[in-house]
Structure 1
Amino acid sequence: MLRQPDSHLLRRGRYSEPGRSYLITAVVYGRRPLFRDLRLGRLLVAELKRTHDSGQVNSLAWVIMPDHFHWLFELQEMGLAQVMGRTKSRSTLTINRARGTTGPFWQRGYPDRAVRAEEDHRKIARYIIANPLRAGLVKHIGDYPLWDAVWL
């Protein structure tokens, strides 16, 4: 069993505010690069879109890397812990079903950062979607299939 020594600290002191933007990272349990399988990545994309379409968040940008994802969104009425709990739970069920597996899919917790109003959301979005370039997965972001941003 993989040890996650500080994951419990990620929840301590967390406060979420409707209308505020957040940058979230969620990591696959054991950092397994399961999203190299495009089919699994698209299942996660469907869950992110479902969360957006249901009005829980206003999704601004996201990228799904082989073993984690980054997501920039504006929180709507629901709390951050609820949004992430539901998204991770639904995606776990969907992805485990597709893989024919059971058990945990995501590492516990998730790093989050509240985005200050004066920060440039487009700059943050560009940083997020450039992850595949920095990781050497592609030479041009247009060649990477698992990202989106409202400005691009």
Structure 2
Amino acid sequence: MPRVFTSNQLLKGRYSEPGRVYLLTTVTEQRRPVFCDFHLGRLLVNQLRQAHDEGIVRSIAWVVMPDHCHWLLELRRKTLGELMCRFKSRSSVTVNQACQSSGRLWQKGYHDRAVRQEEDIKNIARYIIKKPIRAQLTTRIGDYPLWDACWF
């Protein structure tokens, strides 16, 4: 029988290393397509940029999809848990205020993957920003408004 992990068990062994590159993914509650609304997507983009501007991370690439977000970053300050708690909390407040609503914006937890030194970060960034094309939201990445990468 497959082993089922609780969210607390998933945190065991999670290690945050300043200077390390991570690929983070977080999903909206019940996979609601909240960010189909361009304005709400831009509010989330502002939160990604704020973490970068505050020096918590160096954002390498990100894309906001209708029901989730991918973020390739170099961790500078704080732990992954602190970063994601701050990001999810601030974005929830901002989006709920804009919608004049309340409640959960994000599912509990998030997926993180430490990028190994030998991996090609540019290829990972390209993979991330091409997600809207693979999801058939656009045919050209330049036409999709909710992404950025430090090389493009």
Where in structure 1 are there 5+ consecutive unaligned residues?
none
Q: Alpha-carbon deviations, 1:8-29, whole Å to 9, x = none?
A: 1432321110000000001000
Secondary structure, in 3 states, of the residue corresponding to 2:90? helix
Which secondary structure does the structure 2 equivalent of 1:45 belong to? helix
**Deviations 1:46-99, CA, capped at 9 Å, x for gaps:** 000000000000000000000000000000021111011100000000000101
| Maintained 8 Å contact 1:10/1:111 | no
Aligned length in residues: 148
Q: Corresponding residue for 1:39?
A: 39
Q: SS at 1:107's partner residue?
A: coil
RMSD over equivalenced CA pairs, Å = 1.1
Extract unaligned runs of 5+ from structure 2: none
1:13-24 mapped onto 2 (5 Å cutoff):
13-24=13-24
Instruction: Determine if the alignment matches structure 1 residue 114 to structure 2 residue 75.
Output: no
Residue pair 1:21, 1:114 contacting (<8 A) in 2 also: yes
Aligned mates of 1:10, 1:146 — CA distance in 2: 29
> Which residue in 2 is equivalent to 1:11?
11
Say whether the 8 Å CA contact 1:58–1:75 is kept in structure 2: yes
Runs of 4 or more above 4 Å deviation:
none
Tell me what 2:27 maps to.
27
Q: Which residue identity is paired with 2:19?
A: G
After superposition, residues 49-60 of structure 1 pair within 5 angstroms as 49-60=49-60
User: Counterpart of 2:48?
Assistant: 48
Instruction: Give the structure 1 partner of residue 127 of structure 2.
Output: 127
Between the aligned partners of 1:75 and 1:28, the Cα distance in structure 2 is: 23
Q: Percent identity?
A: 57
CA distance in 1, matches of 2:42, 2:129: 16
